[in-house]
Amino acid sequence: MGVVRPSGVLQEDTQHGPGAGGSPVNPPQPPHLPSDPREFTYKPHLSSSTMASQDPVNPSHAAFDLFVQAPTCKDVKHQFAELCKQLDVNPREFRTFYIKVKERLNYWRAKALWTKLDKRASHADYQQGKACTKNKCLVLGAGPCGLRTAIELALLGAQVVVLEKRESFTRNNVLHLWPFTICDLRGLGAKKFYGKFCTGSLDHISIRQLQLVLLKVSLLLGVEVHTGVEFRGLIEPSGENGWMAELQPAAHPAASFQFDVFISAGGGRFVPDEESCAIGITANFINRNTAAEAHVAEISGVARIYNQKFFQDLLTETGIDLENIVYYKDDTHYFVMTAKKKSLLKQGVIKQDSGDAEELLAPANVDSEALNRYAHDAAHFSTGGLLPDLQFAKNPNGEPDVAMFDFTCMHRAENASLVRERRGRKLLMGLVGDCLVEPFWPLGTGIARGFMASFDTAWMVRSWGMGVPHLKVLAERESIYQLLSQTTPENTSKNYTGYSINPKTRTRGSTCPPSTPARCSTFTTWINPNRPARSRRTRLLSCVTIRSVVLRSC
Mean pLDDT of 88-114: 96
Rounded to whole angstroms, how far apart are CA atoms 20 and 62? 11
Q: What is the CA radius of gyration of the chain?
A: 27
User: Domain check: are 392 and 434 in the same one?
Assistant: no
Mean pLDDT of 48-55: 38
What pLDDT was estimated at residue 514? 52
pLDDT tens by residue, 477-496: 988 988 887 888 888 899 99
Cα atoms in the 13 Å half-sphere on the side-chain side of 40: 10
Q: Is there a domain that residue 380 lies in?
A: yes
Torsion of CA 403, 452, 467, 417, to 10 degrees: -40
Mean pLDDT of 33-49: 38
What pLDDT was estimated at residue 466? 96
Average pLDDT score, the chain: 80
Rounded to whole angstroms, how far apart are CA atoms 435 and 457? 13
User: Domain check: are 506 and 523 in the same one?
Assistant: yes
User: Domain check: are 77 and 155 in the same one?
Assistant: no
Of 202-211, 457-466, 476-485, 513-522, where does mean pLDDT reach its minimum?
Answer: 513-522
Q: Is there a domain that residue 12 lies in?
A: yes
Mean pLDDT of 87-92: 96
- Strand 425-431 and strand 409-413: the pairing is unpaired
User: Domain check: are 206 and 290 in the same one?
Assistant: no
- Phi first, then psi, for residue 539 (nearest 5°) are -65, 150
Binned at pLDDT 50, 70 and 90, residue 413 comes out as low
Region label for 389, one of left (φ > 0), alpha (ψ between -120 and 50) or beta (otherwise) = left
What pLDDT was estimated at residue 42? 34
Binned at pLDDT 50, 70 and 90, residue 442 comes out as low
Query: Does residue 54 contact residue 21 with C-beta atoms inside 8 Å?
Result: yes
User: Domain check: are 264 and 296 in the same one?
Assistant: no
- In this predicted structure, the answer to whether residue 231 has a pLDDT above a threshold of 60 is yes
Mean pLDDT of 343-369: 90
Of 7-11, 251-255, 380-384, 460-464, where does mean pLDDT reach its minimum?
Answer: 7-11
Binned at pLDDT 50, 70 and 90, residue 389 comes out as confident
Number of domains in the chain: 3
Query: Does residue 320 contact residue 347 with C-beta atoms inside 8 Å?
Result: yes
Domain stops at, among 384, 407, 430: 407
User: Domain check: are 376 and 426 in the same one?
Assistant: no
Domain stops at, among 66, 99, 122: 122
pLDDT tens by residue, 267-319: 653 222 333 466 889 999 999 999 999 999 998 776 666 678 899 999 999 99
What pLDDT was estimated at residue 213? 98
Q: 199 is in which domain, residue-wise? A: 136-270+411-552
Of 120-129, 134-143, 161-170, 469-478, where does mean pLDDT reach its minimum?
Answer: 469-478
| Residue 439 belongs to domain with CATH number | 3.50.50.60
Q: Is there a domain that residue 195 lies in?
A: yes
What pLDDT was estimated at residue 36? 41
Percent of the chain with pLDDT over 70: 74
Rounded to whole angstroms, how far apart are CA atoms 398 and 102? 41
User: Domain check: are 114 and 144 in the same one?
Assistant: no
Q: Is there a domain that residue 129 lies in?
A: no
Q: Is there a domain that residue 187 lies in?
A: yes
Please name which of 87, 119, 92, 124 lies closest in space to residue 102, comparing C-alpha atoms.
Answer: 87
- In this predicted structure, the answer to whether residue 65 has a pLDDT above a threshold of 60 is yes
Of 188-202, 212-226, 402-416, where does mean pLDDT reach its minimum?
Answer: 402-416
Of 4-13, 89-98, 352-361, 490-499, where does mean pLDDT reach its minimum?
Answer: 4-13
User: Domain check: are 116 and 100 in the same one?
Assistant: yes
Percent of the chain with pLDDT over 90: 55
- In this predicted structure, the answer to whether residue 330 has a pLDDT above a threshold of 70 is yes
Cis link prior to 439 (omega < 30° from 0)?
no
Cis link prior to 249 (omega < 30° from 0)?
yes
- Strand 244-248 and strand 230-235: the pairing is antiparallel
Mean pLDDT of 395-416: 75
User: Domain check: are 334 and 458 in the same one?
Assistant: no
User: Domain check: are 436 and 346 in the same one?
Assistant: no
- Phi first, then psi, for residue 522 (nearest 5°) are -75, -10
Query: Does residue 415 contact residue 546 with C-beta atoms inside 8 Å?
Result: yes
Please name which of 525, 430, 524, 442 lies closest in space to residue 484, comparing C-alpha atoms.
Answer: 430
Of 7-21, 78-92, 116-130, 388-402, where does mean pLDDT reach its minimum?
Answer: 7-21
Of 54-58, 129-133, 267-271, where does mean pLDDT reach its minimum?
Answer: 267-271
Sequence-ordered alpha helix ranges (H) in 281-426:
291-294, 308-318, 341-346, 357-360, 368-382
Q: Which residues pair with 420 in a beta bridge?
A: 427, 525
Supply angle C-alpha 519, 525, 530, rounded to 5. 140
Q: Is there a domain that residue 32 lies in?
A: no
- In this predicted structure, the answer to whether residue 356 has a pLDDT above a threshold of 60 is yes
What pLDDT was estimated at residue 303? 67
User: Domain check: are 98 and 62 in the same one?
Assistant: yes
Identify the residue with better confidence: 464 or 19. 464
Binned at pLDDT 50, 70 and 90, residue 539 comes out as very low
Residue type at 68?
A: V
Query: Does residue 393 contact residue 172 with C-beta atoms inside 8 Å?
Result: yes
Q: Is there a domain that residue 28 lies in?
A: no
Domain stops at, among 100, 122, 144: 122
- In this predicted structure, the answer to whether residue 520 has a pLDDT above a threshold of 90 is no
Task: Report the Cα–Cα distance between both ends of the chain, in Å, rounded.
Answer: 62
What pLDDT was estimated at residue 43? 38
What pLDDT was estimated at residue 444? 58
Identify the residue with better confidence: 415 or 384. 384
User: Domain check: are 389 and 290 in the same one?
Assistant: yes
Q: Is there a domain that residue 25 lies in?
A: no
